[in-house]
Every structure is written in structure tokens, then in C-alpha cells.
């Protein structure tokens, strides 16, 4: 006799039972001798965390300092955006170390007021920069600064400026797309991130554009509407637009501070490196404002990232795709010849920080009431997510969230953006590769400017960016997701002290990157969306353990190497790759484990299953769905559910290997076989197989 304890999941011993028949299946096997049931993998004594670097003021607490024309917030110590890009000062020293007035008349601006204290500030000094490259400051790292310009020149030399197709199609040449990114609607362009629902998304935002590109310095035209708050996605438009911290999200502030010229000002080729249709607007003129000649950081990229983050929050089913679109459009600023790699990298940093401040302001109530439109409350965020989900699910014509998620990822690439099923971002792995490249575009050769082993840092409030993507994780857990998926340290500009530059939002959308200590995931399906089903594609490393519970389904699809084991206490944990369970033991104490990979799934250590649980094997006839156990296999009851997938249709009389591993102590209480068949299990020292019958 034995007694189960659902909390400890430990059993001293059991006597193998005669197998019972159930649900169309039958088992037969000889009775095995008494054996000891292994304990669950031991819980590590620690839980991972991602503490804030308190030595630097948090952007989400000081976003209101990102102002131009205000001398109270004009330095690297007082302006949040300038401080976030402080790393650029290792490469370049601006001729004047303050945020210049947006004028070059030589007179400066009148005194402004400190929005925090109400005290009048001194007049903003007039700039001494004449708009040319060399007069803006002093080069400190000639190698990187030279590469920053030469990269743009090489891209321009290979750029296709021809007219290939009609407006807004995937057939557009590089020159056409670069022009449309410059003059077009950011909300409209980001709409392609919605994939098969791009048209419905744009319509919901009332975002439109009609653009003609004629490959000339004149003749191109654009009629653009960024959208408005009258459509079905009114809240999304408000969140992504100029509300909240939008008035503090300008990228021009950093241009006024750093006074680092655009690439065509540095290049001996001049404006010839610029897309033809943009050349007349970019003609270098001494005395132009920094918004014109200033390149660092890219305002377009800052806005694309900020808006994409809001869209990813509202429609997290396309989380990675919106961010992918933002980085793609940032690269087109380089392709256009109007920004350099460092410009675009800097724009990404301040755009992401501003996006987080926008969303976090609802929690930052004192600041929200003082500096932002109070419409951006917690309830507004909730209603924005609800509005986006209901509107898009209605457009998809789906009744359940899982069907909606699958529909949104059912697209294929086409040469026509109006074609049914069009999705530029249908290929997850390609998106990931491109996203990683674009995070450091053109700067891969400078990955060791700083230490490459600096510990990851997660900025205060950054976890809010994952709030709707992981409704089943706590704020601390979302911070750990960001920490364990960060870009390695070492790159110029983006290795900032607060950590914004290293945040990898694509990897963060694929779950944890490492299990350090005990990781407990509880999926509560009452929360809806991803709390009912999720898939983690990252390759999870670390010496930690996964403890899974709740009533949702989580698929592990990466090449995982975490080592302290896997314990299932509820819900369904699905193995979608050969090494989904890492290198430790697997313990099924409650709930279900599904083996769904297209190759045999390995359990490097012990596999243990207790009564009242289910092991589902999705057999495809090619090795998929099989379980391969390196150590002891112990099954103290439970159900074995055998399904047949991917068109595999075995027949009565077939014998199929299910589990490879020493299975002398494995005895299921019942077996269920799909497809109208029955099955008799055979246990041996080499594993478990099933013989099918009618």
C-alpha cells in the first residue's frame, strides 16, 4: 500500500498493478517486483531576480526631463534621454555640453520654467554649432566614427532606387521603401506587423497613406494620415500617439545635445548617398537647426519603437512582429542615407524607454497626475488591450483565443501586400535573425568596446512592456525574462547604465532565456489569452529547475540545457523539441505532459509519473512523439494517451515503440489510443511499446 501526497509527490514504494482497459484501449503485462519511486527533483534554494541599478535615475521616474528649450534639463545629469545615451560620449564630445535651443540665431531663448518645481530657469544658450560635421564636436574613437559613415556609404552604393511596383507593396525597391518610411504614416507602416489583419488594424486606427515615388529629386508625393481616435482602435491610437509621455518623447533633444551630424555631412560624397527623392530636403546648409543636420539619435526610429511597443502591448499576439517592423523601418533610415547605424541604435534606446515610461506612468501615479494625461490609467491600459483583442478577433471571425492566435500566425509571404494571407513576418526564425542583426546594425565589429561579460541590467519599469504578453507571470518574473534574454554587453552606445540598450524584445517574446534557481510557472486560464496557451522558443540555459502548475498549456520548443529538472504539478507541459526538458529529471506529479516534437524527446535523467496524471505521446511514425529516457523510467499508474499526427495512420497489428529506456518498473493504469484502435503495452528493459488491435 502507498499514499500519495500531492504537495511532496513522493512515494516510498509501490506494487505493480495488473493493467486495466479503458477508452478503447487495453494493456497486458506481467507483474513486476516492488520498487522505490524517485522523489521529485530537489527545489533550488534560490529564486532569480533582476534588481534595478539604483545608482542612476530611472527613466520612468524622470521622463518629464526629456525637454528641449529648458535649461533646467539640458545636461547628461538632468535630462533622461541624454543620460540614456551617455555611452555616445565615449566616442564623441559635443562642442557644447548642453541641450541647445532650437534656434541658431545667436540670441538664445527666453527663460523657461522647471515643470517640477515651477521655478524659472535660466535662458537656454544659443548654439555655436554651424551645422557642419567637424564643428559639432571632437571625435574620441575614430575607428567607430569612420565605420559609422562608411557603412552608410556602402549601403547607398548597393541601394536599388528604381520604381518597382505600386505604393505600399513588398515589391517596392529599397529606395521606395526608404522614402515611404521617411514621409509616411508610422502607424500605417507599423500596421504590417499585424500580418493577415494588417488592413483591419490600419482601418481601426484610421491610418492611411497614398505615396508616389518617381526616383527623382522632385515629383514624389505623399498624402498621409497618421490616424485619429475615432476608429474601432481609438484607445490604441491614443496609447501609441502623442498622449501620455508623448510630449516628452521627442528624439530631437539628444540631437540638440550631441550635435553629431547626419552621415551625408560626414561623407565626401555628400547628399549623393541620400535616396534621390529626399535629397532636396536634406541639402546640407550651415546654420540649420540640429533637428535638420543633427543625426544622433534618430527621431524616426525612436517614434517607430515607441509606437510599436504600444501596439505590441495592445495586441501581444503579434508582439514580436510589431517590434520587428520597428527595427526594420529603423534600418531603412540608414538605407535612405539620412541616418547612421549609431543614430538608429540610439533611437531604439530612447524610444523603448519612452514607451515603458508611457505604460508605467499608470503605476507612477504622482508623476502621472502631474506630467501626463491621466487617461493613461491602469483601467485605460486594460480597456485598450480588450478593445484591440475584441476588434481583431471579430475581424478574424474566430470564436476562441487559441483559434485567433493560430489565425494570426497562418499567413504566408506574398509579393502583394493586398493578397489574402499576406504576412511579411510569417517566418519566426528569419525575423529573429534579422532582429538580432538590426539591434547592432553595422557595429558587429565593435562588440568588445566594453567588457563582454557585464551582468544584465533591467531598467525600472521595463517589465510593463511584457504585461499583456505574459499575463500569468508576476512583475518580478517578467523582469527576469528581460534579464535572461538581454543582448550581451560590449557594444557602443547601447551598453547604458540603466539597461535599455541591451533589452532584446524579440527574445523576450519567446519566454525565459535561462532558469537560475527555482522557476515556478502557474498558468491560470481565467486570465485568458497566453495564460491558456503559450510557447517558449528560446534555448533555455542555466542550473535551475522548472516547476509547472495551473491549468494552462505551455510548450517548450527550444534547445534547452537547464539542469536541475522539471516538475509538473498541474496543467499541460508540452515538449516541442528534442531537448525541451533540459538535462535533468522529469517528474509528472499532477496534470499532463505531452510529447509533441517531430523527433524523439530526450529525458537525460529519470522519468517519473504518478497516478492521476496523463502522458500524451503524439506519434507521427517517424520518431516524433517518442520519449527517450536516459535513466530510470518509473510509472506508478496514470494514463498513457497515444495519438497519431501529421497524417500517420497505423493499422491493427502494428507495433510501435513509445518509450526508449529501462521500463521494468513502468505500469500505466490505463491506455487510450486514438483512431478507433486498441493497444496492448509491452514493458521491457529497453522500453515500452504498443501493439495495436481493432
Residue 557, pLDDT above cutoff 80: yes
Per-residue pLDDT of 495-552, as tens digits, reads 999 999 999 999 999 999 999 999 999 999 999 999 999 999 999 999 999 999 999 9
Residue whose C-alpha is closest to residue 584's, from 614, 550, 556, 612? 556
Can you give the C-alpha Rg of the chain in angstroms?
29
Sorting pLDDT into bands at 50, 70 and 90, what band is 106? very low
Per-residue pLDDT of 233-259, as tens digits, reads 999 998 888 555 555 666 678 998 999
Residue whose C-alpha is closest to residue 401's, from 528, 503, 495, 246? 528
Instruction: Report how far residue 222's alpha carbon sits from residue 211's, in angstroms, rounded to the nearest whole number.
Output: 4
Of all helices (H) and strands (E), which one includes residue 92? strand 92-94
Give start and end residues of each alpha helix (H) in 39-158.
59-62, 80-84, 142-158
pTM: 0.92
Most confident of 145-159, 231-245, 269-283: 145-159
Q: Does residue 333 sit in helix, strand or coil?
A: helix
Per-residue pLDDT of 588-601, as tens digits, reads 999 999 999 999 99
Instruction: Report how far residue 596's alpha carbon sits from residue 24's, in angstroms, rounded to the nearest whole number.
Output: 22
Sorting pLDDT into bands at 50, 70 and 90, what band is 379? confident
Residue 28, pLDDT above cutoff 50: no
CA distance to 65, 187, 295, per residue, from 81 (Å): 8, 23, 15
Alpha carbon 545 to chain centroid, angstroms: 23
Instruction: Report how far residue 458's alpha carbon sits from residue 219's, in angstroms, rounded to the nearest whole number.
Output: 47
C-alpha cell at 230: 475615432
Sorting pLDDT into bands at 50, 70 and 90, what band is 416? low
Please tell me which residue, 603 or 221, carries the higher pLDDT value: 603
So what's the pLDDT on residue 73? 86
Instruction: Report how far residue 51's alpha carbon sits from residue 459's, in angstroms, rounded to the nearest whole number.
Output: 8
Residue 476, pLDDT above cutoff 50: yes
Sorting pLDDT into bands at 50, 70 and 90, what band is 484? very high
Most confident of 204-213, 376-385, 601-610: 601-610
Instruction: Please name the residue that has the C-alpha cell 545667436.
Output: 106
Q: Is the peptide bond before 297 cis (omega within 30 degrees of 0)?
A: yes
So what's the pLDDT on residue 243? 52
CB 691, CB 679: distance < 8 Å: yes
Residue 120's φ and ψ, nearest 5 degrees, are -65, 140
Total residues found in the chain within this entry: 694
Instruction: Report how far residue 558's alpha carbon sits from residue 575's, in angstroms, rounded to the nearest whole number.
Output: 9
Residue whose C-alpha is closest to residue 615's, from 606, 607, 623, 605? 607
For residue 94, list its beta bridge partners: 137
Of all helices (H) and strands (E), which one includes residue 478? helix 475-484
C-alpha cell at 418: 493586398
Instruction: Please name the residue that has the C-alpha cell 548617398.
Output: 273
Residue 320's φ and ψ, nearest 5 degrees, are -70, -30
Residue 291, pLDDT above cutoff 90: no
So what's the pLDDT on residue 368? 58
CB 209, CB 225: distance < 8 Å: yes
C-alpha cell at 573: 507541459
Sorting pLDDT into bands at 50, 70 and 90, what band is 147? very high
Phi-psi region of 519 (alpha: psi -120 to 50; beta: other; left: phi over 0): beta
CB 324, CB 425: distance < 8 Å: yes
CB 308, CB 190: distance < 8 Å: yes
**How confident is the model over 413-428, as a mean pLDDT?**
72
- 40 DSSP assignment: P
Question: Sheet of 678-684: strands edge to edge?
Answer: 601-603, 627-629, 655-660, 687-693, 678-684
So what's the pLDDT on residue 144? 98
Pairing mode of beta strands 208-212, 566-575: unpaired
Instruction: Please name the residue that has the C-alpha cell 506481467.
Output: 30
CB 297, CB 139: distance < 8 Å: no
Instruction: Report how far residue 593's alpha carbon sits from residue 571's, in angstroms, rounded to the nearest whole number.
Output: 8
Sorting pLDDT into bands at 50, 70 and 90, what band is 187? very high
Q: Residue 615 half-sphere exposure, CB side, CA atoms within 13 Å? A: 30
Residue 440, pLDDT above cutoff 90: yes
- 2 DSSP assignment: -
User: For the ranges 5-14, 651-660, 678-687, which has the lowest average pLDDT?
Assistant: 5-14
Handedness of CA 463, 469, 470, 471 (dihedral sign): positive
Handedness of CA 63, 64, 65, 70 (dihedral sign): positive
Residue 332, pLDDT above cutoff 50: yes
Give start and end residues of each alpha helix (H) in 227-318.
234-240, 252-258, 263-266, 290-293, 299-314
C-alpha cell at 146: 569612420
Residue 494, pLDDT above cutoff 50: yes
CA distance to 47, 371, 471, 554, 615, per residue, from 532 (Å): 24, 37, 10, 8, 19
CB 523, CB 550: distance < 8 Å: yes
Domain boundaries, the chain: 1-48+514-694, 59-281+295-440+449-464
Residue 288, pLDDT above cutoff 60: no
Of all helices (H) and strands (E), which one includes residue 221? strand 221-225
Per-residue pLDDT of 32-89, as tens digits, reads 445 689 999 999 999 999 999 999 999 998 888 887 777 888 899 999 999 999 999 9
Residue 112, pLDDT above cutoff 80: no
Residue 415, pLDDT above cutoff 60: no
- What average pLDDT does the chain have? 87
Instruction: Report how far residue 263's alpha carbon sits from residue 442's, in angstroms, rounded to the nearest whole number.
Output: 13
Amino acid at each position: 500500500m502507498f499514499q500519495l501526497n500531492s504537495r511532496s509527490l513522493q512515494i516510498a514504494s509501490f506494487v505493480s498493478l495488473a493493467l486495466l482497459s479503458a477508452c478503447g484501449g487495453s494493456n497486458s503485462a506481467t507483474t513486476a517486483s516492488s520498487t522505490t519511486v524517485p522523489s521529485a527533483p530537489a527545489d533550488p534554494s534560490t529564486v532569480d531576480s533582476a534588481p534595478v541599478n539604483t545608482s542612476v535615475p530611472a527613466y520612468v521616474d524622470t521622463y518629464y526631463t526629456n525637454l528641449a528649450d529648458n535649461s533646467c534639463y539640458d545636461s547628461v545629469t538632468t535630462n533622461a534621454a541624454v543620460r540614456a545615451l551617455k555611452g555616445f560620449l565615449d566616442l564623441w564630445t559635443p562642442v557644447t555640453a548642453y541641450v541647445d535651443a532650437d534656434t541658431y540665431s545667436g540670441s538664445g531663448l527666453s527663460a523657461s520654467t522647471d515643470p517640477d518645481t515651477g521655478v524659472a530657469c535660466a535662458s537656454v544658450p544659443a548654439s555655436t554649432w554651424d551645422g557642419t560635421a567637424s564643428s559639432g564636436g571632437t571625435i574620441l574613437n575614430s575607428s567607430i566614427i569612420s565605420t559609422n559613415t562608411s557603412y552608410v556609404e556602402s549601403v547607398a552604393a548597393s541601394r536599388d532606387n528604381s520604381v518597382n511596383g505600386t505604393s505600399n507593396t513588398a515589391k517596392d525597391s529599397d529606395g521606395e521603401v526608404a522614402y515611404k518610411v521617411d514621409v509616411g504614416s508610422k502607424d500605417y507602416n507599423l500596421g504590417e506587423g499585424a500580418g493577415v489583419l494588417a488592413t483591419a488594424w490600419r482601418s481601426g486606427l484610421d491610418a492611411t497613406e497614398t505615396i508616389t515615388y518617381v526616383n527623382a529629386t522632385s515629383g514624389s508625393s505623399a498624402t498621409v494620415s497618421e490616424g485619429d481616435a475615432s476608429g474601432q482602435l481609438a484607445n490604441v491610437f491614443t496609447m501609441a500617439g502623442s498622449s501620455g509621455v508623448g510630449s516628452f518623447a521627442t528624439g530631437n533633444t539628444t540631437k540638440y545635445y550631441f550635435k553629431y551630424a547626419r552621415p551625408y555631412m560626414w561623407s565626401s560624397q555628400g547628399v549623393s548617398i541620400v535616396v534621390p527623392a529626399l535629397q532636396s530636403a536634406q541639402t546640407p546648409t550651415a546654420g540649420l537647426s540640429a533637428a535638420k543636420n543633427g543625426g544622433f539619435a534618430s527621431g524616426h526610429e525612436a517614434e517607430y519603437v515607441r509606437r510599436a511597443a504600444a501596439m505590441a502591448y495592445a495586441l501581444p499576439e503579434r508582439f514580436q512582429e510589431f517590434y520587428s517592423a520597428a527595427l526594420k523601418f529603423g534600418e531603412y533610415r540608414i538605407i535612405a542615407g539620412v541616418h547612421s547605424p549609431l543614430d538608429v541604435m540610439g533611437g531604439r534606446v530612447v524610444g523603448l524607454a519612452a514607451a515603458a515610461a508611457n505604460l508605467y506612468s499608470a503605476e507612477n501615479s504622482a508623476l502621472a497626475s502631474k506630467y501626463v494625461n491621466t487617461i493613461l490609467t491602469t483601467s485605460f491600459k486594460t480597456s485598450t488591450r480588450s478593445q484591440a483583442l475584441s476588434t481583431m478577433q471579430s475581424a478574424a471571425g474566430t470564436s476562441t483565443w487559441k483559434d485567433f492566435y493560430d489565425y494570426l500566425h497562418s499567413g504566408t509571404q506574398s509579393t502583394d501586400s493586398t493578397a489574402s494571407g499576406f504576412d511579411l513576418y510569417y517566418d519566426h526564425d528569419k525575423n529573429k535573425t534579422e532582429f538580432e542583426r538590426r539591434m547592432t546594425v553595422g557595429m558587429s565589429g565593435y562588440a568588445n568596446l566594453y567588457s563582454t561579460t557585464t551582468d544584465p541590467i533591467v531598467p525600472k519599469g521595463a517589465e510593463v512592456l511584457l504585461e499583456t504578453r505574459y499575463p500569468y507571470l508576476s512583475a518580478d518574473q517578467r523582469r527576469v525574462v528581460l534579464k535572461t534574454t538581454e543582448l550581451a554587453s560590449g557594444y557602443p552606445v547601447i551598453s547604458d547604465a540603466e539597461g535599455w540598450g541591451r533589452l532584446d524584445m524579440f527574445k523576450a517574446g519567446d519566454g525565459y532565456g535561462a532558469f537560475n534557481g527555482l522557476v515556478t510557472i502557474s498558468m491560470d486560464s481565467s486570465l485568458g489569452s497566453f495564460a491558456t496557451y503559450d510557447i517558449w522558443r528560446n534555448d533555455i540555459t542555466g542550473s535551475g529547475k522548472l516547476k509547472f502548475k495551473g491549468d494552462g498549456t505551455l510548450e517548450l520548443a527550444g534547445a534547452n540545457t537547464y539542469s536541475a529538472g522539471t516538475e509538473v504539478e498541474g496543467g499541460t507541459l508540452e515538449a516541442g523539441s528534442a531537448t525541451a526538458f533540459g538535462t535533468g529529471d522529469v517528474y509528472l506529479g499532477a496534470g499532463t505532459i505531452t510529447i509533441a516534437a517531430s523527433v524523439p524527446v530526450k529525458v537525460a535523467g529519470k522519468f517519473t509519473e504518478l497516478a492521476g496524471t496523463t502522458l500524451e505521446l503524439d506519434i507521427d511514425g517517424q520518431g516524433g512523439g517518442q520519449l527517450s529516457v536516459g535513466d530510470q523510467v518509473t510509472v506508478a499508474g496514470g494514463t498513457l494517451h497515444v495519438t497519431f499526427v501529421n497524417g500517420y495512420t497505423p493499422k491493427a497489428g502494428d507495433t510501435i515503440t513509445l518509450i526508449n529506456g529501462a521500463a521494468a518498473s513502468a505500469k500505466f493504469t490505463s491506455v487510450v489510443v486514438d483512431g478507433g484502435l486498441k493497444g496492448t503495452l509491452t514493458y521491457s528493459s529497453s522500453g515500452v511499446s504498443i501493439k495495436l488491435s481493432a
